[in-house]
Structures are given as C-alpha cells and as structure tokens.
Amino acid sequence: MDVAAGQLGVVAGPSGSGRTSLLLALAGRMRLVAGSVAVGGCRLPADAARVRQLVAVARAEPAVGLDDELRVGDIVTERTMIGGPRIGRAAVHDALTMLGVDAPATATVADLPPREQTLLAVALAAAEQPAAIVVDDVDRGCDDTDAERIWEALRILTGLGCTVVATTTIPPPSLDDSVAVIDLPHPTQRDQIPLPEE
C-alpha cells in the first residue's frame, strides 16, 4: 500500500482481517513479524521511535481509544497536560472547530453519538499537528450520512497536508481516484495452509 503525503488511504476489510494491526504497525506501535514498512522515509522497525513522533493514532481499539466514562472537557485537559508544548488548548480548540465537532465539555464520551466520538478522537489527534493520522473503524455505529460527514472531515485534514489512513468494512462510494484503497481479505481466505490429502 502506497499512501503519499497529504493523501487519504483506506484499509477495507471485515472484522478479523488485520485492519487494526496494520494501523498500529504503520504508526510504529506494533512490531512487525514479517515484511517491511516505510513511513515518511523512516523504516520500521529500526526507526519506530521517529515514526511514533510522526504518526498520531486517533483510535485503534482496544489499544488506543477514548475512555467512555470521561467528560469531553476532562479528555481535552488530559491531552494538553500529557501532550507537552506541541498540543495546547488553542490547538485542540482549533482542531475541534475545523472538523465541526459537536461535543459539549460536560458530556461523557458515552453520551456522544458515534459520529461525534470519532470526530473527537480525530480532532484530538489532529491537534498534535502530526504528519499523519491513523483512525480505525471510521464509520462504526454511523448511518451513511454520519459516515460521510466523517470522511469529509478526514478530507479536510488531507487538504491541509496531513496524511490520513482510515479503516472501514466497506469503502464509501463517495471516494474518488485520489484515495489509496487496499482491501484485506476475510481471515478464512488468507494464509491458508493446504490440508494433506487423505
């Protein structure tokens, strides 16, 4: 899969096809067992620390996700505290506004509709101003209208030069030829070991 700087990449496949593992590997957060990956000129696994600086993970559950019980305001405070000088309240506010996130500070993540949960996670990642963002299960729990709104938000980020790689079960029909798409097979259709003849 080749995704250029500032391009949207989509990894499509059913549950169990390795979408989340692929995202975590691309972000330098999961060790490769085979093959090789280059991100922004960095080779994995040798340059994993540098890749982790370049790539923000918006969501890749269960490894990375928003805590359902926390209030939005608390999550923003937490991110600004642990994000260091590169992520301040102004950066978070700008990202939330840019992506049109409708998430009241007093609401818990669980109170938010699925679209806003995803947009909140993406905005928090974007506030870090990374070279790339990965986000898993983009349209989870969303109807077509809400899913399209999320894809539009991801296109806003790529329009600003941020590379985005997102996963879904089925790519939306609205994607054009500028989007890099890879289809992962169902787990029962890959890496099959031939059975001995009887």
Task: Kindly give the pairing relationship between strand 37-39 and strand 8-12.
Answer: unpaired
Largest CA distance in the chain: 68
pLDDT confidence of 44, banded at 50, 70, 90?
confident
Q: Tell me what pLDDT residue 198 has.
A: 53
Length of the chain: 198
Residue 14 has pLDDT above 70, yes or no: yes
Q: Tell me what pLDDT residue 48 has.
A: 85
Q: Tell me what pLDDT residue 51 has.
A: 87
What does pTM read for this prediction? 0.89
Q: Tell me what pLDDT residue 47 has.
A: 83
pLDDT confidence of 39, banded at 50, 70, 90?
confident
Q: What is the domain partition of the chain in residue ranges?
A: 8-185
The rounded mean pLDDT for the chain is 88
Q: Tell me what pLDDT residue 99 has.
A: 96
Q: Tell me what pLDDT residue 46 has.
A: 83
Options 3.30.930.10, 1.10.287.70, 3.40.50.300, 3.10.20.30; CATH for 8-185 is 3.40.50.300
pLDDT in tens, 178-197: 888 888 877 776 655 444 55
Q: Which residues pair with 8 in a beta bridge?
A: 164
Q: Tell me what pLDDT residue 193 has.
A: 43
Q: Which residues pair with 37 in a beta bridge?
A: 44
161-191 b/e (C-beta count within 10 Å ≥ 16 → b): ebbbbbbbeebbeebeeebbebebeeeeeee
Mean pLDDT of 26-32: 85
pLDDT in tens, 58-98: 999 888 889 999 999 999 999 888 877 778 888 999 999 99
Q: Tell me what pLDDT residue 9 has.
A: 94
Q: Tell me what pLDDT residue 192 has.
A: 52
Residue 114 has pLDDT above 50, yes or no: yes
Q: Tell me what pLDDT residue 191 has.
A: 59
